[in-house]
Amino acid sequence: MQTQIEQARQGVVTPQIASVALKEDLTSEYVRQMVAEGKIVIPWNHSRKPQVVGIGKGLSTKINASIGTSSDIIDYGAEVRKALAAQESGADTLMELSVGGDLDRVRREVIAAVDLPVGNVPLYQAFCEAARKYGDPNKLDEEMLFDIIERQCADGMSFMAVHCGINLYTVERLRKQGYRYGGLVSKGGVSMVAWMMANNRENPLYEHFDRVVAILKKYDTVLSLGNGLRAGAIHDSSDRAQIQELLINCELSEIGRDMGCQMLVEGPGHVPLDEIEGNIQLQKRMSGGAPYYMLGPIATDVAPGFDHITAAIGAAQSSRYGADLICYITPAEHLALPNEDDVRMGVKAAKIAAYIGDMNKYPEKGRRRDKKMSKARRDLDWEKQFTLALYPEDARAIRASRVPEDEDSCTMCGDFCASRGAGKLFAGDLKGDKL
């Protein structure tokens, strides 16, 4: 079966392309052209057929939520509940990133529970299985790795973060710059670097990139080029190792597109605000406009417990400057495995941040809802305010917990409600009544 990009290049408007166009209020021809050029991807899988989501140029910024077991906490039911919490809170995609327990079981149970496109990182299972089988993850052999990629795609993975851009040259850049303040923070990335150093060999995912593409193309799974050397501290942002890997990933994205595979490029995790715009411009220029998946990004290193906020600040800027997919960060980041409440909080913070970014990326379309909300607040139309809210039930709950004496006002101002007072003064001069 052909992939979305192959069909789009032949002039075919697939059902998925038509669905994205309808959701985004765009023409099918525009979406088809962008898919053909590799500037929009639609995470898919012929074996599963998930909810249709478009990611890329001209589309709203999408949010990914990540869940998964650890070696310390293995609770399959909890991961399913977290997946459902992410979907209910508005996540557009989901990554299942387990490293503890029966990895096939947790992946399959999560996929069965949600409608979202589900992604993962195959290196996690590859190194876990090598450690269990041989007692040493560095004894992983190539055939096991490629077999696991195939198995996971067959289970229904819609996108897959594969660390193809780490090679001996990028590792040498890391050494020559004197390592890092924050070290390496990608589990898949550090595992692959350890394997390369232990075996004195090139990364097989880079060396046999055509084989990776062939497997994912078979299922129309999006290949997300993993950011294994991403910065885990803002003082490491834009260092030579990270930029070298980005350069290689951008080159690979072009090769993969030419082979007929949908391609994403992953970006960094910790970035100060003054570097976000440049990072995105660099990726877009070097990749020919491939969709960009930003991990956060966290904008300061000193707020553990509140990293859903530090990441939301970075996410709003990233969305504004052209990032296409944002990976949420939860309050548990750097501290513990997230629970259901952390997942909900992380998704909502990231969703709001992406909305703020889109208001500036697409000002004409992106600010209509805010104009309507302004009028509803001015007119003390509470029901309309709740309807327009990104998370109406949260807003209703707060208001219901502190009921005012006068239902037109709220307990913040009570009798001194500015909107009510000003409304009386300017009742004959209302603006926007036709909204």
Parallel, antiparallel, or unpaired: how do β-strands 159-162 and 222-225 relate?
parallel
Q: Which of 174, 279, 263, 268 is nearest to 225 (CA)?
A: 263
pLDDT tens for 145-171 read: 999 999 999 999 999 999 999 999 999
Res 124: pLDDT: 98
d(CA 335, CA 278): 30
Q: Which of 77, 48, 46, 58 is nearest to 20 (CA)?
A: 58
Cβ atoms of 145 and 132 closer than 8 Å: no
Domains of the chain, by residue range, sit at 4-364, 368-429
Domain 4-364 falls under CATH 1.10.1740.10: no
For the chain, helix, strand, coil in percent to 5 are: 55, 10, 35
Tokens (6 digits) for 299: 């904008």
Q: Which of 11, 64, 88 is nearest to 266 (CA)?
A: 64
Res 193: pLDDT: 97
Cβ atoms of 162 and 223 closer than 8 Å: yes
The neighbour count for residue 421, using CB atoms within 10 Å, is: 11
pLDDT tens for 261-306 read: 999 999 999 999 999 999 999 999 999 999 999 999 999 999 999 9
Res 45: pLDDT: 97
Res 433: pLDDT: 57
d(CA 46, CA 68): 24
Q: What are the residue ranges in the chain where pLDDT is below 50? A: 435
Query: DSSP secondary structure string, 23-39?
Result: HHT--HHHHHHHHHTTS
pLDDT tens for 11-43 read: 999 999 999 999 999 999 999 999 999 999 999
